[in-house]
Amino acid sequence: MKARAITTEVLLGIVPIALLVALWQAIASFGYAPATLLPPPGTVFTRLVQQLFTGTFQQEIAATLFRLFAGFSIAVVLGVIIGLFAATSPAINAVVRPIVRVLAPLPKVALYPALLLLLGFGHESKITLVVADALFPILLSTYYGASMVEQKLIWSAMAAGTPRRQILFKVVLPAAIPSILTGCRIGLVISCIVVFLAEMITSTDGLGHVLVTAARTFQAVDMFVPLITISLLGLILNGLLQGLRSYLLRGFPEI
């Protein structure tokens, strides 16, 4: 019974995606839009598969992934550490909170020209931009997660003789993991988006650069390929994170 309900839901969910692809195909094949503006889906997906097996395209993906992972990992480490300390120390909190309140709503892309001037056109400026954008959701959700830890848990740990320094890593961090992972998920998607945009604005390699090159020469097919690739990457990475989440949170109630 339950399995059947899930199948119906999945089927229902496929409908709009299928409709969209059908609409796309219809517009292309009935000639409402010339193939130079909207290539039919078949052409785009064949091109995608074809590209995925060429060395140069794989190198572009590798460049994008490297920046993505470097930026995202730095953001996770910084965000979790700052978030934990801000939640547990009033002094650090007093400093961090106003700074975060000012920096979080700042449109970080606007900093990109400054980063270009300071760090050059290579990996560094793009990675820094990814860090700047992915940091805040991770930091904030770590902070909220760590501040919501039940005081009783901390008292019990202290009563059981846990040294104060270890409470942070043995009680607060594990208790905040669900919230941290939610923040990481948002941060991951943002990293995907930002790395792509940074590569579009100025770059010599990476998926964003592929899109811009295609746009300059009006190759519509080649414009769709990197876009679909980055979405697929986002979905795959999201799936991996989801897997990690269900592994780390086995036993936690599903939210």
151 scored as a contact of other proteins (CB under 8 A): yes
State in angstroms the smallest separation of the CB of 14 from other proteins.
7
Helix (H, G, I), strand (E, B) or coil at 35: coil
Is residue 110 a contact residue for other proteins (CB under 8 A)? yes
Residues 211-250 that bind other proteins (CB under 8 A): 211-212, 214-215, 218, 220, 223-224, 227, 230-231, 233-235, 238
Nearest approach, Cβ of residue 57 and other proteins (Å): 17
Nearer to other proteins, 14 or 62 (CB): 14
Q: Is 35 in the site for other proteins (CB under 8 A)?
A: no
Give the ranges where the chain is alpha helix by DSSP (H): 2-29, 41-52, 55-88, 90-103, 112-119, 123-147, 151-159, 164-167, 173-201, 207-216, 220-248
Rounded to whole angstroms, the Cα distance separating 141 from 136 reads 8
Residue 173 interacts with other proteins (CB under 8 A): yes or no: no
Assess 23 for contact with other proteins (CB under 8 A): no
Which of 42, 98, 122, 174 is close enough to bind other proteins by CB under 8 A?
Answer: 98
First to last CA, the chain: 22
> Of 58-97, which residues contact other proteins (CB under 8 A)?
86-90, 93-94, 97
Type of residue at 252: F
Task: Take residue 207 and report the two structure tokens written for it.
Answer: 């998926």
CA distance 115 to 213: 23
